[in-house]
C-alpha cells in the first residue's frame, strides 16, 4: 500500500475514475458539471493574485 501515497498514482487513479464515471454514468456526470465549473472558476480567480504577488516581490 506504500505506492498509494505517491501523488502520481493518486492522480492517475483520479483520472481513471473520472473517465469511468463519465462513461458509465453520463447523466450523473452532467449533473456534477456545476461543481467542476465552480472549481475551475475559483482556480482562475486565484491565478491573478498569485501572478501579481510573484511579480511584485
b/e sequence 6-45, b meaning 16+ C-beta within 10 Å: eeeeeeeeeeeeeeeeeeeeeeeeeeeeeeeeeeeeeeee
Give the whole-angstrom CA distance, residue 43 versus residue 11: 18
Domains in the chain: boundaries: 2-56
- pTM for the model stands at 0.58
pLDDT in tens, 1-57: 677 788 999 999 999 998 998 899 888 888 888 998 999 999 999 998 999 999 987
- Site of grid cell 498569485: 50
pLDDT at 55: 92
Amino acid at each position: 500500500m506504500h505506492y498509494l501515497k505517491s501523488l502520481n498514482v493518486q492522480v492517475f487513479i483520479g483520472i481513471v475514475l473520472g473517465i469511468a464515471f463519465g462513461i458509465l454514468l453520463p447523466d450523473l456526470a452532467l449533473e456534477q458539471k456545476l461543481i467542476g465549473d465552480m472549481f475551475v472558476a475559483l482556480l482562475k480567480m486565484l491565478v491573478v493574485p498569485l501572478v501579481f504577488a510573484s511579480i511584485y516581490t
